[in-house]
Amino acid sequence: MPQSLETFVPQGQEPPYLQVRRRIAADIASGEIAVGTKLPSVRALAEQLGLANNTAARVYKELEATGVVETRGRNGTIVTRRGSSTPARVEAAAQKLAAEAATAGMPDDAVLALVRAALASQR
């Protein structure tokens, strides 16, 4: 198992699969997990992180959908390219915004209007 995952503990309000997926994607993007690295099996990942097997499988499925890993049947899941950490950072910011908005009791429409205004100001 990559060193960075050995001590990772999902916590907080966001779903564990998102936290684990983001962590693996960020570690791949930074080069901490190198291209060609064989990731732990679904069962091993689930066991190590205290997740359900289905949760670990979802992590790999979503990483595969982004093209940073490839599942090769009995040969396991292999890192195929270094992704970009930018989408992961933007997604993390969006999750944080959603949590803050929920805590403040803001309606979805109001939050979306704020995001649209912020995007428009960047163009």
CA distance 21 to 105: 28
Domain range enclosing 45: 3-83
Dihedral sign (CA 7, 40, 86, 101): negative
Q: Are residues 25 and 76 in the same domain?
A: yes
Q: Are residues 75 and 90 in the same domain?
A: no
What pTM value is reported for the model? 0.64
* pLDDT tens series, the chain, 123 aa: 565 666 677 788 889 999 999 889 888 888 889 999 999 999 999 999 999 999 999 999 999 988 899 998 888 999 998 765 566 667 777 878 888 898 999 999 999 999 999 888 888
Q: Are residues 103 and 58 in the same domain?
A: no
Q: Are residues 30 and 69 in the same domain?
A: yes
Q: Are residues 46 and 64 in the same domain?
A: yes
Q: Are residues 100 and 46 in the same domain?
A: no
Domain count, the chain: 2
